[in-house]
Amino acid sequence: MKTRRSFLQKASASALAMSLPAFPMFSLTKESETYFDFQEVKPLRVAIMGLGSYGKRVADAMKDCKRAKLVGLVSGTPSKVESWKKEFGIEDKNCYNYQNFDQIKNNPDIDAVYVITPNGLHKEHAIRTAKAGKHVICEKPMATTAADAAEMVSVCEQAGVKLLIGYRMHFEANTLEVVRKRKAGEFGEIKFFQGLSGFIIGDPTQWRLDPVLSGGGAMMDIGIYSINGARYMIGEEPLWVTAQEVKTDPVKFKEGIDETITFQMGFPNGVVASCLSTYSMNYLDKFFLNGTKGFAEMQPSTGYGPIEGRTHQGPLTNPHVTHQTTQMDEMAAMILDGKQAEIPVDGREGLKDMKIIEAIFEAVKTGQRVDLV
């Protein structure tokens, strides 16, 4: 419906345009472009929970965001809070520890909390965030069990807040180009997918090698990329999994921490995805998709970038943008504007990966094929 206000806004804009000098648009300076901004775009105001190395990576990337802004911190380490406050200009009133965090519900200056704590703490921290009335962005894997993931989804839905999972690759330009080509039929009928994900893990005392905090080893950390990648590259959900584990260092990779797992996933269209997840080999970051009319090969396929690859039509040439910058701007648009991601990043997407991971662990344990319901 046309309103008097909208009419006046358009009339004012037309009058302003007519009154400006007749210079071509390309002659305007960057500063003068703001002259045409009639309405300031609201940013998503984010607090980061967990000020570790990846939290720092996200915070640095957000400096270049257009729609997301870092405004709050949550940490159990006072020294980190102090140094981050100075570096990122965070106000004291937006800083919390794990004891007083629930008071964030009374802070109108924070819209969402990005949970970047160890996997085993995701459920607790996400649920506390949701109950405080704040939107939840949770790093992957979203939990350590499918049951916990399902509870997170339920609580967020009941609280009326968004639950988004940190699938940064779902916004990466070359990845999206391959998915669009597959949807357009440019690869023909998909026949095969291979995903290789791994690196040699370092410090044996880190939380990633603690079964309680990590919920598993390489599969939870790096293997999830091949699981998730197979799903969006093939465009279907797997029906079954088989898996085999190799453990060469039972001291470093104790009970509950997988070192290397090869696994297979069967899809409705007959495609079998052959994948590897490991903590004991480097140079493994590769996706390969094969179809009757063409192929896509990406290496590196999920690293921090640049993502490189080619198809039967030639190289993928989209410019590299810091993944976390794009992710946070896109998630801001999802939360604030209701935008839909081309590849889902919601809690139910994360729950699907958790169910597959549990099935892979079961297949390793039993030596049998495990069907996915």
List residues with catalytic annotation: 140, 225
Give the SS3 label for residue 195.
strand
Q: What is the DSSP string of 109-134?
A: T--EEEE-S-GGGHHHHHHHHHHTT-
Task: Report the DSSP pairing between strands 295-298 and 284-291.
Answer: antiparallel
Copy the structure tokens of residue 251: 């001291």
Sign of CA dihedral 354, 233, 162, 324: positive
Q: Are 301 and 194 in contact (CB under 8 A)?
A: no
Quote the Cα angle for 263-265-284, to 5°: 45
Task: Tell which residue, 323, 312, 283, has the closest CA to residue 299.
Answer: 283
**Beta-strand (E) ranges in the chain?**
44-49, 68-74, 95-96, 112-115, 135-138, 163-165, 190-198, 240-246, 260-266, 272-278, 284-291, 295-298, 309-311, 314-315, 370-371
**40 burial via Cβ count (<10 Å: 0-12, 13-18, 19+):** exposed
Copy the structure tokens of residue 92: 């004291």
Task: Tell which residue, 172, 153, 58, has the closest CA to residue 115.
Answer: 58
**18 burial via Cβ count (<10 Å: 0-12, 13-18, 19+):** exposed
Q: Which residue has the tokens 């809690």?
A: 347
Task: Report the DSSP pairing between strands 295-298 and 68-74.
Answer: unpaired
